[in-house]
Amino acid sequence: MGEVAIMHSEPLQFECSDMRHVTEGDVYNRSSNAEHRLGEEKGQSTENEKVEDLRKRGYMEHGCQHYRRRCRIRAPCCNEIFDCRHCHNEAKNHISIDQKLRHDIPRHQLKQVICSLCGTEQEVQQNCINCGVCMGKYFCGTCKLFDDDVSKKQYHCSGCGICRTGGCENFFHCDKCGCCYSNLLKNSHPCVEKAMHHDCPICFEYLFESMNDITVLPCGHTIHKGCVKEMREHFQYACPLCSKSICDMSKVWEKIDLEIAATPMPEIYQNKMIWILCNDCGKTCNVKYHLIAQKCLNCKSYNTRQTRG
């Protein structure tokens, strides 16, 4: 085995020319350290109070009808200042604007915001670089979104690429549909590719970025809740896109059965046969013609259309 060399050294000795008595208190000034720590805690508490004061200053006092926030934005497309992207889109798509000049703001390209309290223009960030105020209690750096009203339970969905409301614990993202749905629909909704990436079939507002409530029909198509309500007020119970029934119509079909039974057809039409397509089940049938309606032999629905005489 190899040898390990060990170096021995003599104990070090110190001499002090000033032979005064050194007490333990001189070495360990405990009261001084305690006072120092107390001062640090007070300073930290004061600093926290200042930060909290900045967060609360102007809270819920600024903004527009769409968002409560303490900043305005400079649109990268037209270099004009607006309260939010919705205010920009409403102004720039107004009927008074030339159609060639109408446009929406590219939200992810937003770079500059203006503090509502001190007026400082700066790059997108949550706290003002000048006065230090929090410009939005909820802040998303990806969507460039500021909002003081956190009761909406905002969250950013990486699948959608935008911020949603309602709380992330209450929704799931469907990769095939390309949007977020309520957890209640997780195992029951019919998947339709890019279900919300189109306009509402009633009001023609783009559903994917709409701030109004959206519902999923039994067929899988999406539409505004308010538009569905309006359809029902006008006795329209079929999907505007695929014509499938949007609710249980069995009671209505029973009433039509009674009406047909009470309305005999003229003799020349009693044996007339026609081909129909059922909008609900998609089956084709050869049935007797009746002036009121034709019943699907497969699912017993009257939501049908004539295809051949």
pLDDT in tens, 23-57: 544 444 555 555 556 656 666 667 777 777 777 88
User: Quick one: pLDDT at residue 50?
Assistant: 72
| pLDDT at 227 > cutoff 80 | yes
Mean pLDDT of the chain: 87
- Name 306's bridge partners: 276
Asked if 142 and 108 touch (Cβ cutoff 8 Å), the reply is yes
Angstrom distance (rounded) from CA 63 to CA 114? 12
User: Quick one: pLDDT at residue 154?
Assistant: 95
Which stretches within 142-224 are classed as H helix? Answer: none
Token couple for 79: 């270099």
User: Quick one: pLDDT at residue 260?
Assistant: 94
Angstrom distance (rounded) from CA 243 to CA 282? 11
Cβ neighbour number for residue 153 with a 10 Å cutoff: 14
Averaged pLDDT for residues 282-302: 95
Asked if 235 and 261 touch (Cβ cutoff 8 Å), the reply is no
User: Quick one: pLDDT at residue 187?
Assistant: 87
Domains in the chain and their CATH numbers?
52-152 (no CATH), 155-246 (3.30.40.10), 250-308 (2.20.28.10)
Q: What percent of the chain has pLDDT over 90?
A: 75
Q: What angle do CA 303, 206, 244 make, to 5 degrees?
A: 10
Token couple for 257: 């059965």
The DSSP H or E segment spanning 284 is strand 284-288
Asked if 214 and 222 touch (Cβ cutoff 8 Å), the reply is yes
Lowest mean pLDDT among 15-29, 30-44, 244-258, 266-280: 15-29
User: Quick one: pLDDT at residue 28?
Assistant: 46
| pLDDT at 215 > cutoff 70 | yes
User: Quick one: pLDDT at residue 33?
Assistant: 59
Lowest mean pLDDT among 22-26, 254-258, 304-308: 22-26
Mind listing the pLDDT tens digit for each residue in 148-160? 999 999 999 999 9
Token couple for 80: 């004009």
User: Quick one: pLDDT at residue 243?
Assistant: 96
Asked if 246 and 227 touch (Cβ cutoff 8 Å), the reply is no
- Name 218's bridge partners: none
Angstrom distance (rounded) from CA 137 to CA 70? 9
Mind listing the pLDDT tens digit for each residue in 127-177? 999 999 999 999 999 999 999 999 999 999 999 999 999 999 999 999 999
Averaged pLDDT for residues 191-214: 92
User: Quick one: pLDDT at residue 272?
Assistant: 92
Angstrom distance (rounded) from CA 108 to CA 126? 16
| pLDDT at 15 > cutoff 50 | no
Q: b/e map of 25-46 (b: 16 or more CB within 10 Å)? A: eeeeeeeeeeeeeeeeeeeeee
- Name 182's bridge partners: 171
User: Quick one: pLDDT at residue 52?
Assistant: 76
More confident residue, 274 or 48: 274
Q: Is the pTM of this model over 0.75?
A: no
Q: What angle do CA 241, 284, 260 make, to 5 degrees?
A: 90
Mind listing the pLDDT tens digit for each residue in 80-127? 999 999 999 999 999 999 999 999 999 899 999 999 999 999 999 999
Dihedral pair phi/psi, residue 143, rounded to 5°: -90, -5
User: Quick one: pLDDT at residue 209?
Assistant: 85
3-state secondary structure of 214: strand
Q: Nearest to residue 83, comparing CAs of 64, 111, 105, 58? A: 64
